Structure 1
Amino acid sequence: MSTTTVLKFFTLTSLVSLSLILDTNPSSAAILNGNFDPNLDGWTSLGDVGVQNSQALLKTDTVNDNYAALEQFLNSPAGGLDQVGNGEVFQGSALKQIITAEAGEVLTFNWNFLTNEPAESTDFNDFAFFTINGNPVKLGDTFSEFSSSATPFEKETGFKSKSYKFQNSGTYTLGFGVVDVYDAGKNSGLLIDNVALSKPASSVPEPSTVLGVLVLGSLGAIRRFLHL
């Protein structure tokens, strides 16, 4: 075998290895259908949940006093949602998916809280939230900053980004929800999009570093091959 042939072989091998490393995202399969395109495949829902413009839309307007079912669906502790909004939750809708995450991985998503409730309503403080293994974290409520909405709702927060870092590896139940507080007189909604799980940038090797390692490895292999 000629030296030229050997060089071509090891160059091709290095390039294939590099492409596999750079194109592989170990977390890409952790979230199924995180863009909700074209439906809710991969997710389980409760209440009034659908897809609008490739975004999950959760609404409270066709739900009927399902607070207990909502807690059970999300595996939330009894009365846990009441504490999030500091008011008695009446009904709501939710979406969930079981995911696998590694320690240090980061969950990211975009959200937009929509409502017809009066601004800063203490009595009817509808809110949107997400859950990790049933533990709720508030995203927006009637005390949020709003602008007029082009949706069927009167106002919206506009899309905002949220991130959550997993401290331990394991299987988690990721949930999203929106609820009416005290009554169903005024409705609220939640848009969710771009749900993804990724490794921190510091844990991903720089392409130049990966390339350098592959090149040095190939050169060493070539030298050993030629001296056989």
Structure 2
Amino acid sequence: MRTLFVCFLLTFLSCLHFSKCYDLSFDIPYNSKPLDSDFACLAEQGYSSGVVEGLKSNGNCAFDAKYKLDLCNGHQSRCDLAFDLDREKDPVTQINDAIDCLKKINVQNSDFNKIWAIVELGRQPSGEWPISNSSDQSSNVDFISKVLMAISYSLEVDRIGIETSKTDWSQITGDSTIGIEFGLYYHGDNQENFEDFVPFGGWTFDQVEMKKYSTNQEICKATFDLGLIQ
């Protein structure tokens, strides 16, 4: 009881300092296998939103995505999907394959709130994003545009977002505004607030939906990335 009171007091004081309270969120890495009790534990600690990575880093469907979504929906108020992108595969084909796979494992559109297209360096399953020159960046922008268009055939625009960081987006796209009509999930500093956000890619703070501030954290007996949602 005392521990819960201390946690509540710290959260309350943090809200007073930053003038606004933000909901806590978590990402489930591919290699993390949380149990139902872990999701319940996260909910008890105030984590109201979860992101399930629905496409493995090798470009194949994550067949446990349905299982993780069901557990998330059982305890959290919002559950999203995140897709890694394979730069060496046709953008439309890989999205169609991913969506077909999700249908095969019985993931319905009603099972998740949003799909995040991950645009990051160092995550490519079959080769890195080319970033040597402006021609590479233009090619990357075209690729991302086709990915977003392919997803939009299955989902409304307001249910599609981009997960990236300011540095990665600048190197990959040359700070293109191609994603401006979609929500932003950015990777920032390790602080539990949004004070580090600097506009990029045409995104303003009003378009920021989520921030990831910590990765590979052991919490509730499983491994999660931690973030905020506003």
* Short-chain TM bin: under 0.3
Q: Which has the higher contact order (CA 8 A, sep 6+)?
A: 1
Q: Which has the larger radius of gyration?
A: 1
Instruction: Identify, as 1 or 2, the structure richer in helix.
Output: 2
The TM-score, its normalising length taken from structure 1, stands at: 0.26
